[in-house]
Structure 1
Amino acid sequence: MKGLRKKLCYGIGNLGYSVVNQTITNFFMFFGTSVLKVPGSLIGLAVALSTIWDAATDPIVGFISDNHRMGFLGYRNGYVLIGTIGVSIVNLFIWCVPLNLSVGVKFVWVLICLLLNETFCTLYSTPYGALCGDLVSDYNDRTEIQIYKTIFFILGMVLPSILLYIFLPNTTQYPQGQLNPYGYRNIAIVCSCIMLVCGMICVFGTLTRQDKKVESTEKFSLKHLLISYAQCFKNYHLRLVIIGYSLSMISSAILTSVGLHFFTYCFKYSSLQITILLTALLLFMAISQPFWYKLSKRDDKKPALLSGLLVAIIGVIIIMLSYVFKDMLGNISFYIIFLAICVVGVGSGTLYSLPASMYLDVAEYSNPDKNNGATMQSYLTFSYNIANATALFLVGVLLDVIKFNPNLTTQSRPTQTGISIILFLGVLISLISSFLVFSKYKLKQKNFNKESDKIDND
């Protein structure tokens, strides 16, 4: 694929978006329950409602982006710019909840901020995802640009773990640094600045001549969007990719939302140890991208994706066994978990590039002449957001069911066991289900005619 500058600018856009959203994904469930002292069911409800709102607005923003341009910024970049500014501002308020407020007021504050954040995230992510399809059209190029996008996304996922160590160290006042509320505010400031800079680079670094087409006069129709979404599920391969991807992302949602609880309360790891594990997970996701790209070119995308899922499942099982036998293993359990985390990182690396590439393939294969990239992208994000919202709400409820007490720095043994069951059972069920769904995918490279690249040779 030609156009290195545009590839880099496009990928950098995912760095800023990732660092903000991964901070929320990794830390907010813990922050809400253990720092703000809000019941897990309420935090889970707030996250679920905001995710459902995100899902509901995805098709609307997709339609607007496909049919209404914003001056010289075109059909994608203008909306990405609005999303960049909005996310950068709202993110600060999410982590600045006054601790002296009542539980009810804290819940309302959190809910409003999360809803606003998801609104601006949709304005950013849906046109951004469609921009990928505008920049390339070749079968392998779709995977290559997804690799760039994924590498920067994973780098953004790594940064919150590093910031956790920098701003949430163990101190005399906070022996468990993760419980320090002021550290989260500093993390938010850094993340918002990164989002702003990276978003601007993406907006002005990926402008393309394709934005000069005549604006559509098609009017928005919710009925039309619902019918179009239903049509996706009548398409065999679109249905498989949507369901398989949604299931795989549930594992990521559970791992990130409960992972901090698990390592803090079940293993009593310090901020440094947790940072090492999370950083290893994400770095191996990034490092594995060239390997999965080459494997997908050699053996095709489906075999590469199934191999990655299988590797991730094996890694999760090793972590589970390490917890079961942690008393027997003693201090060596940390090193075993570290190696297993690396294995999970390598395997799950496929989930952040290949399914998105396969979805673009199927969309192109099904509607080669239709200009609805953002709308099609929104259907995928709508589906996995609904799945994630359901999973996160259940996680919040289950934390209350197992009697998780945010006022205790040490949880009871039954509660620790409950946290581990939520984590391992949820992740394994979602990964295995995703494997079974993707195993039915039939399209191969030979089904596609090679097309010329759309990116200019800069």
Structure 2
Amino acid sequence: MNKNVTDAPTLNPGEDGQPKVAGAYDPAKALPLLLCIGWGVGTFGISVMFNSVNLLLQRYATDFLGIAAASYGVIYFLSKIYDAITDPLMGAISDRTKSRAGRRRPYLVLGGLVSAAAFIALFNAPSIEETPYAIAIFAGLLILYSTGYTIFNVPYLAMPAEMTTNYLERARLISFRVYAIGFGSLAGLSFAPMLVAMWGGGREGHVMLAWIYGALILIASITCFAATSQARATTNVEKSPLSRAEKLKLIFTNKPFMILVGVKTLHLASLAVTQAAFIYFVVYVLDKGYGALGLLGLANAAGMLVGNPLWYWAAKRLRDKRILYMCASVFAGLVLLSWWFSSASEPMEVTMLRKFLHGITTAGSLLFGQAMLPDAIAHDAQRSGLRREGIFAGIFTTAEKFAFAVGGAITGIFLGLMGYISSTTGATDQPETAIRAIYLCVSVLPATLLFFSVLLLTQYNLSEDQVEAAAR
């Protein structure tokens, strides 16, 4: 192993002025339970925001603010391109940060604050009937939303590679994040549409939701900051014999990491297309309202919460995250294809079963995709002698933003090209071509992307033995 690797924990001054070690536990053994829970809570607020925006915002913009579907697709795409630029930058900033709270944790609070403010503002944006600048204002708020998400998420995702060096313990830590995503999905995909409907629907219901969920986002980020005060953290390597070009080359020749980036892009593009189109599917294909949408979100979240311990149990026995990631992806693709056969006459129980099964597959994809990332980052530390977890997390989340840019844009532009009719008063009759486009966006297209991700995963080549050897 390269001797330049720095595994020393960050030193923070104590009240007596002497250095205090943050994270004084064996990184190769089990992490403290409260630390795992506290770190996972940070995902809850971001998951609430992420799922609520992905489920509700596009239809809110097209059917209540009067923004054309194609225009929304372009705005969303541009906001994600902005993200693609800022994520690696945020990673580099966090790598170089020096503070009493460490390199990553200060951004948990700052990111939560910006995210909460942006979420509230998005669902209070003016319509095109209220101001000629409505589209520009909406675009600016999407940029603010993207900024808050980046400030929080990039440093947050850099933390697991520092918190533990154990192959399976990383999966255990990430499982707490998956639980938080499950509860966040419950709030964002199930409770959110129910609450909007309960508060009268329309713009008024969305405004009430924004204020309440905005508070949840901020509380979760502060809780995460407080609960991770003893998390192990590595220090930045100030000097390196490597040139800038050599450092960059080592990133892009890190085969396990680049495979994960490609797989993540395909998975999240699939998710972006599905989530953006699903609310239209419920309203225009299943002929149901926000109450049914909430029940389906409940089934999906229940599937995630049930699936998470099952996938972790499988990981402990099979000890091969790659194979399990492939299994989850194939299973998810088959469930997505089944939506092609759904219709308004289908019993609600069958529809909910599909969402439940999809939740189980989602738990596996999230668990193994995120648990393999710290392994690939540690592989870089072994090769380069650098501690640049932030940059890797930034590149990884750039793939996420790119995927959602492409996926969200494809959905909006495709619906527009297929004749989707926008409105400022809610649902309106849609042509058959638009209905067919909605079917494609919730079934065939996202399933195809997942099947391609499985082919890419066959090239991943980082085993448990290699990960454990690098940690020694």
The answer to whether TM tops 0.5 is: yes
Matching residue of 2:280: 261
Letter in 2 for 1:181: R
Matching residue of 1:291: 310
2:361 corresponds to 1:347: yes
Q: For 1:248-271, what per-residue CA distance to the aligned partner results, in whole angstroms no more than 9, with x for missing partners?
A: 111111111110011111111122
Matching residue of 1:364: 378
CA distance in 1, matches of 2:407, 2:324: 27
2:266 corresponds to 1:247: yes
TM-superposed deviation, 1:235 = 2.6
Letter in 1 for 2:167: Y
The match for 2:159 among 131, 151, 158 is 131
CA distance in 2, matches of 1:85, 1:170: 25
Letter in 2 for 1:424: S
Letter in 1 for 2:178: T
2:67 corresponds to 1:38: yes
Q: 1:74 to 1:366 in 2, by over 3 A?
A: closer
CA distance in 1, matches of 2:396, 2:410: 22
Matching residue of 1:27: 56
Q: For 1:326-371, what per-residue CA distance to the aligned partner results, in whole angstroms no more than 9, with x for missing partners?
A: 5xxx242x32222122111111221212112112112212323421
How is 1:151-300 mapped onto 2 (pairs within 5 angstroms)? Answer: 151-160=179-188, 161-169=190-198, 177=201, 180-208=202-230, 210=232, 213=235, 224=244, 231-299=250-318, 300=320
Letter in 1 for 2:165: S
* 1:163 match: secondary structure: helix
CA RMSD in angstroms comes to: 2.4
Matching residue of 1:310: 330
CA distance in 1, matches of 2:378, 2:122: 38
TM-superposed deviation, 1:208 = 3.1
The match for 2:444 among 407, 421, 425 is 425
CA distance in 2, matches of 1:251, 1:82: 30
Matching residue of 1:144: 172
Instruction: Tell me, yes or no, if the aligned pair for 1:67 and 1:216 is still in contact at 8 Å.
Output: no
Matching residue of 2:404: 388
CA distance in 1, matches of 2:228, 2:470: 20
CA distance in 1, matches of 2:210, 2:408: 22
Matching residue of 2:41: 12
Matching residue of 1:174: none
Q: What TM-score results when the alignment is normalised by the length of structure 2? A: 0.86
Q: For 1:152-179, what per-residue CA distance to the aligned partner results, in whole angstroms no more than 9, with x for missing partners?
A: 02211210221211222496xxxxx4xx
* 2:100 match: secondary structure: helix
The match for 1:83 among 108, 111, 118 is 111
Letter in 2 for 1:404: Y
Matching residue of 2:148: 120
Instruction: Tell me, yes or no, if the aligned pair for 2:251 and 2:380 is still in contact at 8 Å.
Output: no
Matching residue of 2:462: 443
Letter in 1 for 2:215: C
TM-superposed deviation, 1:38 = 0.5
* Paired residue total: 434
Q: For 1:180-232, what per-residue CA distance to the aligned partner results, in whole angstroms no more than 9, with x for missing partners?
A: 1111111111111111111111111102375695x66579xxx95x9756643
Matching residue of 1:456: none
Q: For 1:85-118, what per-residue CA distance to the aligned partner results, in whole angstroms no more than 9, with x for missing partners?
A: 1111121111101236467511111111111111
* 2:468 match: secondary structure: coil
Matching residue of 2:27: none
Taking only the aligned residue pairs, the percentage that are identical comes to: 18
Matching residue of 2:430: 411
Letter in 1 for 2:154: T
CA distance in 2, matches of 1:20, 1:422: 22
Q: For 1:232-255, what per-residue CA distance to the aligned partner results, in whole angstroms no more than 9, with x for missing partners?
A: 332322221110111011111111
Instruction: Tell me, yes or no, if the aligned pair for 1:247 and 1:384 is still in contact at 8 Å.
Output: no
Q: 1:2 to 1:43 in 2, by over 3 A?
A: same
Q: What TM-score results when the alignment is normalised by the length of structure 1? A: 0.89
Q: 1:154 to 1:100 in 2, by over 3 A?
A: same
Q: 1:442 to 1:103 in 2, by over 3 A?
A: farther
Q: 1:14 to 1:385 in 2, by over 3 A?
A: same
Greater shift, 443-452 or 149-158, is seen at 443-452
Q: 1:229 to 1:383 in 2, by over 3 A?
A: farther
CA distance in 1, matches of 2:142, 2:199: 28
Matching residue of 2:321: 301
Q: 1:64 to 1:76 in 2, by over 3 A?
A: same
Matching residue of 1:374: 390
Q: Which structure has more helix as a fraction of its residues?
A: 1
Q: 1:240 to 1:314 in 2, by over 3 A?
A: same
CA distance in 2, matches of 1:377, 1:106: 34
Greater shift, 261-270 or 311-320, is seen at 311-320
TM-superposed deviation, 1:446 = 2.2
Instruction: Tell me, yes or no, if the aligned pair for 1:13 and 1:202 is still in contact at 8 Å.
Output: yes
CA distance in 2, matches of 1:14, 1:87: 13
Q: 1:41 to 1:209 in 2, by over 3 A?
A: closer
Instruction: Tell me, yes or no, if the aligned pair for 1:38 and 1:103 is still in contact at 8 Å.
Output: no
TM-superposed deviation, 1:131 = 1.4
CA distance in 1, matches of 2:273, 2:246: 31
Q: 1:210 to 1:301 in 2, by over 3 A?
A: closer
Unaligned runs of 5+ in 2: 1-29
CA distance in 2, matches of 1:49, 1:35: 21
Matching residue of 1:337: 351
